[in-house]
Structure 1
Amino acid sequence: MIKNLLKISLPLFFLIISAQLFAQGVKGKVTDSAGVAIPGASVLVVGQKVGTSTDGAGQYSLKLSAAGTYKVRVSFTGFITLEQDIAVDNSVKTLDFSLLETKSNLGDVVVIGSRSTPRTNIESVVPVDLITTKDVKAFAQTDLTQILNFVAPSFSSNRQTVSDGTDHIDPASLRGLGPDQVLVLVNGKRRHTTALVNINGTFGRGSVGTDLNSIPVSAIERIEVLRDGAAAQYGSDAIAGVINIVLKKATPYSFSTSFGQSSSSALGRDFSDGRTFQADFSKGWAFKNDKGFINFAAQYLQRDYTNRGGLDTRPLLYSANPTKGATETEAAYQARFANIKAADNARAAANGLDRNNMRVGNSDSKNGGGFLNGQFNFGKTTQLYYAAGFTHKTGSAAGFYRLPTQTTQVDLSIYPNGFLPFIDTKINDYSFSAGLRGKVGTWDYDLSNTSGENTIKFNIDNTVNASLPTGTSPTSFYAGELLFRQNTTNLDLSKKHTFDGGFLTSLNTAFGGEFRIDNYQIKEGELLSYSNGGRLIGTSPTASGSQVFPGFKPSNAIDKSRNNVGAYADLEAEFGPRVTLGAAGRYENFSDFGSNFSYKFTGKVKLFGDISLRGAYATGFRAPSLHQQYFNNESTQFVAGNATQVLTVNNSNPIVGQFGVGTLKPEISKSGSLGLAGRIAKTFTFTIDAYNIDISDRIVFSSQYARERTSAGALIPTGVVNQILNTVDPSAQVNSVQFFTNAITTNTAGIDVVLTNKFSLGAKSSLILSAAGNVNKTVVRSIQGSDKIESDATLKAKLFDRLERSRFESSVPKNKLNITATYNVDKLSFVARTVRFGEVTYLNAIDPNVAANGLPTQLDQTFSPKWVSDFSVSYQANKMWSVTVGANNIFDVYPDKLYIDPRNNENNLSGVTGSTYSGSLDNTSNGRFLYPRAVSQFGFSGRYVYGKIACTF
């Protein structure tokens, strides 16, 4: 890594030295209309490969190779671009610029949400957040989902733990909805989703999202978050809204590197883990004579794992609890058990088996990638544009520890102390987009093609196939691969008509079409990763395949494709300077389930001054993903602390037919929003938007239908689930089955508020204060199964249990508040931010009102709101170099701890007979999880301290 950095740094150093040889040039300061310095403004010499950006005090300087007359162009997002000629002789001239805001002090120009003229975010007809490069770089979060989680109140995402592939791809939520109900665009073009469907016990279970972290942060100019239903404008998935990532264009050289780690104290222990190293680079080159630009950006990110696991509370680690003799007294049994436990503990100590035997926290991760963005201008009206990206990410995440007592899952000749298995992933993400836009007569056209691919290879390490003959199992396996590929072709036409006088002053007309092809594949793993070698423990069969993640079988392998054709029309009219109305309609036809028509109406009325009332009503849809239609596998999951073989079947499997469930249908939505937005006294801006979203036929991943057994553990032959599972596994090794189905109707309602004020405190200092909040509530209004499920109370109860309900209603914060202050004084910049994450609630599948073994249990838990505060200080040493130090979660805040039943204690022997308490009826999995993982608040790694060095020239 150091060698590579030197390769980059040395050429930059010589460029800097050589620049000092020129005596002539231009320098100055860039400010806004209030005289406040604008850091990061772009300053270019038109027609020359000379450019820079302003420093923290708004200062810039350019070295020129020869005397002459030059045209200097200054631009910054949200401000009117200025150009000015200057004659330069053999000296350095001074040229200051004062940029005018585009009608709003925020100046946040956005293109998403409307196909008419780009507007500022307070003038848009629907709510749009704009997150600039400065927002992205202000703190230590290095990947995009974590940045958005702390910047955008309506966005929620946290890293998951002990959840297979989901450990490596963060599920995200907008407005409390699922990861697959927000559409992601890059430069306005549809971004492909991942190959992963989340099937474990996390937020977003059963959904397929987009891996935002596959886009290098260094490549991003700004992020536009449309918080409004937009399926009628952009197509399937845009129920919650749209995230549009705009890539950098002609920018100066930019290089930064940072290092940090957790420095935390929890549970009386000091943690120094999660070391993170990041390096990024970007540079954009403007072609001569305004012929276009090309920008290249790259990023490398290495993150070590964190571990906040607790101690395993099971009394015995090496052997099962002894059976109490028929004539043995309780006292004698307890004394005998105490001796066995003492010997067990001594053996564990001698062999180095620690009761802190899990890895509960962030996975290991290495992520490197780059993005190319460019445009070539043919004349004044025609442009060829393109963007290409590639990311390679590797990760390693742990599963559940297999104790020596779990004899059907271990091979004691290989791992006498048991083992902690790992899921290692290799994720590749490719994307390419190219298009031609220009004019045909008076119409603007945009013809483009966008393709993308995401692949995930699973390698399982430090594990065994316990079914193989003793001592013969490998300890690592290739378990197979998931692949998703998408290709989208678009043709968009638009024209803006203006009218002199009269009631209608302008009309923007847009229409177009789209053709998309999706392809989803599951590739089988190696034979031993899924096979059963027939080894028995007594009369008990051993588990097939690699422990923690059995490989995909040949019967799981699929290669499925579909296509869809769409057409849309979009009208937006202005009636004088105060009224704007819009309407859009979109028809799409899918080859696998049919067609859908969505529509949307928008309106904005300027009430007085710069304050407007805006609103929208829209219908929308989300097509079931190919993943949801065809994913199938067999996995080992831990349910109530017990290893369970779970069969996931797709909707073409006869098993699903026996439940009466048919093919998947699209989710259908109806949404409305109403808000106020504007500016007061030139410096204070606000947006307040309320919304309501109804979704029917929402696709869920069913609860697990487990085999029916008697209280003694014997199978019930007449059980409905038993009869169904016996058709595929008469040996009863498969314990339960689950599948996808359109089962629920939900309502989501909330309000978003964004307030910002900017203060000029002098020629060299300024203060920006902002507050942004979201209040959100989702309610499951109805649950509807097939006729067969509805007619059987047991099947109905298991279709969508309390736990699954909580994933939709209470697993992300019900409210979030972000307060940020940025103070700039001369060369120093201080940024303080505090975010209040609202409460989340976990509901256990078991109703806590029902007694367990005659004793009450506390299975449900609400986790209280928490404030998480970040602070950083930056010093701009000179125009080129800056240094930043800071801390995220500076006060080392953690979520509430999981409730641990005091009876579930490895030193408490009162329940070892099993006659009073099972010891596994809390949510900690025998004490190993101290903080919640099934609900998503803000993570549990604690304080993170970091330093960063950046160079721009």
Structure 2
Amino acid sequence: MIKTLLKISLPIFFLIISSQLFAQSLQGKVSDSTGVAIPGASVQVVGQKIGTSTDGNGMYILKFPAAGTYKVRVTFTGYVNAEQEVAIENTVKTLDFSLSETKSDLGDVVVIGSRSTPRTNIESVVPVDLISSKDVKVFAQTDLTQILNFVAPSFSSNRQTVADGTDHIDPASLRGLGPDQVLVLVNGKRRHTTALVNINGTFGRGSVGTDLNSIPVSAIERIEVLRDGAAAQYGSDAIAGVINIVLKKVTPYSFSTSFGQSDSKALGREFSDGRTFQADFSKGWAFKNDKGFINLAAQYLQRDFTNRGGLDTRPLLYSASPTRGAAETEAAFQARFANLKAADDARASANGLDRNNMRVGNSDSKNGGAFLNGQFNFGKTTQLYYAAGFTHKTGSAAGFYRLPTQTTQIDLSIYPNGFLPLIDTKINDYSLSVGLRGKAGTWDYDLSNTSGENNIKFDINYTVNASLPTGTSPTSFYAGELVFRQNTTNFDINKKHIIDGGFLSSLNTAFGAEFRVDNYQIKEGELLSYANGGRLIGTSPTASGAQVFPGFKPGNALDQSRNNVGAYADFEAEFGPRVTLGAAGRYENYSDFGSNFSYKFTGKVKLIGDVALRGAYATGFRAPSLHQQYFNNESTQFVGTVATQVLTVNNSNPIVGQFGVGELKPEISKSGSIGLAGRIAKTFTFTVDAYNIDISDRIVFSSQYARERSGGVLVPTGVVNQILNTVDPTAQINSVQFFTNAITTNTAGIDVVLTNKFTLGAKSSLILSVAGNVNKTVVRSVQGSDRIESDPTLKAKLFDRLERSRFESSVPKNKLNITATYNVDKLSFVARTVRFGEVTYLNAIDPNIPANGLPTQLDQTFSPKWVSDFSVSYAASKVWSVTVGANNIFDIYPDKLYIDPRNNASNFNSSPTSNYSGGLDNTSNGRFLYPRAVSQFGFSGRYVYGKISCTF
């Protein structure tokens, strides 16, 4: 705390001292063309390390070391820069600036989506959202994925729970598509993906995304979200669109810190968990004589876990349910069961075994990182630029509780009451981008190299290897490491031809080439994390490896690389002031699967005034990731309430060959969009864009092919049994899964963004925005190999109902965001409400097929919900501001999971012989109260917070 106070107080102290040393000063106000103050505008002295930003009233003050003539430059995103020379003497001089707005009322200037002149978002040929640094930091969400989930209607992401590594890296969706179908750029350069492939039962299962939370929010100037297929322009993955994160440049000193926690009431209980502390810093320095800049930003975020789990409804915790004897009456059996349960409950109470034995919610997390962004100018036309980042993140997430009755997964001599195993991760993320851009004759060139790495180490704690001799198992294991590295070299040239007279008024021509190398590694864990010690319970073998996450074996370890070479051409022509047409083509050749050519056509026609019709048609592709091609492991997953040893094999494994599945090939897309965008009455802007995306050969992670059983006995002639016996004749592996190009999908939707700015007085304004998205994804066909197609059982399990729901209905089908920002004098009020549309969970078991002699009732649709946030900020001075607020202020939760009335605790207690669970309960015996297989908006409830910011 003392160090933090010193970091904040010392710069302020020196600022006060400097104000006494330098009598020469310039002060004034920065406002827009209507006279409304502009807070946060940058005021810099050209060629000097002198600069500041305006306070909440648009006021600024600059101190000069000596008298003289200086050039002062004022900039603010969305407004035309203003410069003026001023003579500074030994006095206090006043100079006001009035900035002219660009054609968009909020000036959403973007560079993504076109290699021509940057445009405002309503002038762009394709739909682009701009999210400013103020939008990013105005509410209490501290993770970038959570911020975008509430700000961008076409973006969806939620934290996952009880999902191994996915608890620590949030899968995200743009326009309802997968995490790996959106390309992420930083300063326009490709960002590497994570080392993690999602293999558990969450949205995005089988995909590999980018960890957006590895980029400190304090480093971000703005985020550009291109909602249109762009593989022809930027390469693989850009099927749904592109997210470009632009880093800060020259900025004042900025510190902020916040603290908050859940203040929620649900299920008749009060929750005050999830305490979150955040601190960040940023500062950008300009070099003398316009030689460039350097910006440093850092952030530390600590978040405690939340738990919204329910009570375990299983009647007996320490002993298995009895079976009724042949000569035993029902009454006698019920009495015996009642006595057993009473004794069991008494033992649990005496030993402190709580039926709320899970941790269902956000994981523990500590996240610290920094980003450096800079540029050095050689003369007026050549710049050396660079960006470097590092993030270290640790997390702790729980698995399923192991009860004393689960004897093949536990060592009672170590954990007589069972245990809750934890998956602890250490995630390191590195990136470095260096480039040189300038002019060669009449052409602009850009030569760059970008490297990135993401590695994840797994430590499993509070667990055992149940197969080791009784009492000898460690309780902590190192389970191995995943590593992904990427290096991308780009060369781009660009030229805009201005043509006087004639039908064509300008032509922008761009060419480029790219060489990329990917590397993926799996490193084995320690021996006991995966070994089988041979211990038996009676005649039953015990589970190998660390419970909840067996370590990677030597046979899993690998080090695989590939490279690809790409080249593109991009043309954009303006035919007078009203018509713009564009075309792009890109060829890429991969060393592992071959080549692909993508193309894109765009067009925009101004209809009336600033209202334009725009549209695009594009083909695209997504190369299968190295993770999908090579990942393999053995894991413990729960199917219903049954612990299952699941074998994941890659496509080079002979097991996959026995299913007739070949090597992975790229996904291919065709997409089209059409929309209207414009400005009316100077302050009202709107964009309305409809889209349609067809994807063939889409890669899926198959459903689990489980061993066939009859009456609990393995069926020797079963197809899956015969296949698995080739690698596991002792039948410890319960099921197998793999990646394959299996489905064709169609996604269609519409995005609407409306914004208006109201000037209410000299010191007050209101900005109102409404943004919405409606989308629907349909799986049009499922196609397996010839072997799978010829066997109805294999075909049904390739892509079952549950896997279909992950694609069609696991993210909201619609989302509506209404935000109002009211500024008056030193106060700022921000209110936001977001309507998250319905999601639907489909159980793998077809409800039309009875199970255990009874029809299942497990499919469930979760109704739309409104989640509202509110904050108020007070600018105590031009340096300090204070914010208090609440997210989810009305404490809204999703619908509870449906519990079949025949499958609850009272039925267990009164009639144990009719125990009908068998994995047919979505709540996993009452422990999950809210949905985790589908994503809506999470289930942590109300969150209250306070924040202090310092800018000078």
TM-score (norm 2): 0.99
Conservation of the 8 A alpha-carbon contact between 1:239 and 1:621? yes
Counterpart-to-counterpart distance in 2, 1:19 and 1:606: 53
Aligned partner of 2:66 in structure 1 is 66
Counterpart-to-counterpart distance in 1, 2:855 and 2:331: 25
Q: How does 1:177-196 map to 2 (within 5 A)?
A: 177-196=177-196
Give CA-to-partner distance per residue, 1:727-780, whole Å, 9 cap, x none: 000111100000000000000000000000001011100000000000010000
**Secondary structure of 2:341's partner?**
helix
Conservation of the 8 A alpha-carbon contact between 1:911 and 1:917? no
Counterpart-to-counterpart distance in 1, 2:206 and 2:877: 51
Q: CA RMSD in A?
A: 0.9
**Paired residue type of 1:392:** H
Aligned partner of 1:462 in structure 2 is 462
Conservation of the 8 A alpha-carbon contact between 1:313 and 1:904? no
| 1:20 Cα deviation from its structure 2 partner | 2.8
Counterpart-to-counterpart distance in 2, 1:916 and 1:464: 29
Conservation of the 8 A alpha-carbon contact between 2:314 and 2:908? no
Aligned partner of 1:385 in structure 2 is 385
Conservation of the 8 A alpha-carbon contact between 2:908 and 2:914? no
**Secondary structure of 1:650's partner?**
coil
| 1:592 Cα deviation from its structure 2 partner | 0.1
1:902 aligns with 2:904: no
Aligned partner of 2:281 in structure 1 is 281
**Secondary structure of 2:940's partner?**
coil
Counterpart-to-counterpart distance in 1, 2:461 and 2:675: 53
Counterpart-to-counterpart distance in 2, 1:296 and 1:283: 6
Counterpart-to-counterpart distance in 1, 2:921 and 2:289: 69
Query: Which region of structure 1 is more displaced relative to structure 2, 386-395 or 79-88?
Result: 79-88
Query: Which region of structure 1 is more displaced relative to structure 2, 383-392 or 90-99?
Result: 90-99
**Paired residue type of 2:822:** Y
**Secondary structure of 1:909's partner?**
helix
Give CA-to-partner distance per residue, 1:695-722, whole Å, 9 cap, x none: 0000000000000000x10011110000
Could you list the runs of 5+ residues in structure 1 that have no partner in the other structure?
A: none
Counterpart-to-counterpart distance in 2, 1:505 and 1:936: 48
Conservation of the 8 A alpha-carbon contact between 1:321 and 1:912? no
Query: Which region of structure 1 is more displaced relative to structure 2, 88-97 or 397-406?
Result: 88-97
Conservation of the 8 A alpha-carbon contact between 1:686 and 1:754? yes
Aligned partner of 1:323 in structure 2 is 323
Conservation of the 8 A alpha-carbon contact between 2:69 and 2:85? yes
Aligned partner of 1:57 in structure 2 is 57
Counterpart-to-counterpart distance in 2, 1:344 and 1:231: 61
Counterpart-to-counterpart distance in 2, 1:88 and 1:375: 29
Conservation of the 8 A alpha-carbon contact between 1:919 and 1:926? no
Aligned partner of 2:372 in structure 1 is 372
Aligned partner of 2:529 in structure 1 is 529
Give CA-to-partner distance per residue, 1:146-178, whole Å, 9 cap, x none: 000000000000000000000000000000000
Counterpart-to-counterpart distance in 1, 2:917 and 2:848: 17
Aligned partner of 2:574 in structure 1 is 574
**Paired residue type of 1:609:** G
**Secondary structure of 2:348's partner?**
helix
Counterpart-to-counterpart distance in 2, 1:912 and 1:936: 35
Aligned partner of 1:946 in structure 2 is 945
Aligned partner of 2:796 in structure 1 is 797
**Secondary structure of 1:342's partner?**
helix
Decide whether aligned partners of structure 1 residues 920 and 707 sit closer, same or farther in structure 2, where only a CA change above 3 A counts: closer
**Secondary structure of 2:409's partner?**
coil
| 1:14 Cα deviation from its structure 2 partner | 2.0
Counterpart-to-counterpart distance in 2, 1:911 and 1:90: 92
**Paired residue type of 2:942:** R
| 1:327 Cα deviation from its structure 2 partner | 0.8
Conservation of the 8 A alpha-carbon contact between 1:692 and 1:749? yes
1:432 aligns with 2:398: no
Q: How does 1:689-728 map to 2 (within 5 A)?
A: 689-710=689-710, 712-728=711-727
| 1:4 Cα deviation from its structure 2 partner | 3.4
Conservation of the 8 A alpha-carbon contact between 1:853 and 1:916? no
Counterpart-to-counterpart distance in 2, 1:886 and 1:849: 48
**Paired residue type of 1:327:** A
Counterpart-to-counterpart distance in 1, 2:913 and 2:773: 47
Aligned partner of 2:539 in structure 1 is 539
Decide whether aligned partners of structure 1 residues 650 and 912 sit closer, same or farther in structure 2, where only a CA change above 3 A counts: farther
Counterpart-to-counterpart distance in 2, 1:280 and 1:207: 31
| 1:496 Cα deviation from its structure 2 partner | 0.5
Counterpart-to-counterpart distance in 2, 1:662 and 1:523: 25
Aligned partner of 1:260 in structure 2 is 260
| 1:191 Cα deviation from its structure 2 partner | 0.2
Aligned partner of 1:868 in structure 2 is 867
| 1:7 Cα deviation from its structure 2 partner | 4.2
Aligned partner of 1:358 in structure 2 is 358
Query: Which region of structure 1 is more displaced relative to structure 2, 29-38 or 265-274?
Result: 29-38
Aligned partner of 1:9 in structure 2 is 8
1:834 aligns with 2:820: no
Aligned partner of 2:166 in structure 1 is 166
Aligned partner of 2:148 in structure 1 is 148
Counterpart-to-counterpart distance in 1, 2:882 and 2:495: 47
Aligned partner of 1:135 in structure 2 is 135
Aligned partner of 1:218 in structure 2 is 218
Conservation of the 8 A alpha-carbon contact between 2:923 and 2:929? yes
| 1:852 Cα deviation from its structure 2 partner | 2.4
**Paired residue type of 2:31:** T
| 1:640 Cα deviation from its structure 2 partner | 1.3
Counterpart-to-counterpart distance in 2, 1:509 and 1:909: 72
Aligned partner of 1:343 in structure 2 is 343
Q: How does 1:533-682 map to 2 (within 5 A)?
A: 533-682=533-682
**Paired residue type of 1:884:** T
Counterpart-to-counterpart distance in 2, 1:910 and 1:104: 66
| 1:910 Cα deviation from its structure 2 partner | 6.0
Counterpart-to-counterpart distance in 2, 1:799 and 1:905: 32
Counterpart-to-counterpart distance in 2, 1:245 and 1:184: 8
Could you list the runs of 5+ residues in structure 2 that have no partner in the other structure?
A: none
**Paired residue type of 1:833:** R
Counterpart-to-counterpart distance in 1, 2:9 and 2:106: 39
Counterpart-to-counterpart distance in 2, 1:88 and 1:565: 56
Counterpart-to-counterpart distance in 1, 2:207 and 2:594: 21
Aligned partner of 2:778 in structure 1 is 779
| 1:3 Cα deviation from its structure 2 partner | 3.9
Aligned partner of 2:515 in structure 1 is 515
Conservation of the 8 A alpha-carbon contact between 2:639 and 2:919? no
**Paired residue type of 1:435:** G
Aligned residues: 951
1:877 aligns with 2:876: yes
| 1:920 Cα deviation from its structure 2 partner | 4.1
Q: How does 1:288-299 map to 2 (within 5 A)?
A: 288-299=288-299
Counterpart-to-counterpart distance in 2, 1:7 and 1:720: 69
Counterpart-to-counterpart distance in 2, 1:150 and 1:724: 46
Aligned partner of 1:96 in structure 2 is 96
Aligned partner of 1:205 in structure 2 is 205
Counterpart-to-counterpart distance in 2, 1:265 and 1:858: 29
| 1:50 Cα deviation from its structure 2 partner | 1.3
Give CA-to-partner distance per residue, 1:99-154, whole Å, 9 cap, x none: 11122212111000000000000000000000001100110000100000000000
1:809 aligns with 2:808: yes
**Secondary structure of 2:907's partner?**
coil
Counterpart-to-counterpart distance in 1, 2:664 and 2:804: 20
TM-score (norm 1): 0.99
**Secondary structure of 1:8's partner?**
helix
| 1:902 Cα deviation from its structure 2 partner | 2.7
**Paired residue type of 2:588:** E
Aligned partner of 2:858 in structure 1 is 859
Aligned partner of 1:730 in structure 2 is 729
**Secondary structure of 1:628's partner?**
helix
Counterpart-to-counterpart distance in 1, 2:638 and 2:676: 49
**Secondary structure of 1:554's partner?**
coil
| 1:919 Cα deviation from its structure 2 partner | 6.1
**Secondary structure of 1:908's partner?**
helix
**Secondary structure of 2:40's partner?**
coil
Counterpart-to-counterpart distance in 2, 1:56 and 1:158: 33
Counterpart-to-counterpart distance in 2, 1:223 and 1:940: 27
Conservation of the 8 A alpha-carbon contact between 1:203 and 1:936? yes
Counterpart-to-counterpart distance in 2, 1:916 and 1:687: 56
**Paired residue type of 1:212:** L
Counterpart-to-counterpart distance in 1, 2:16 and 2:799: 67
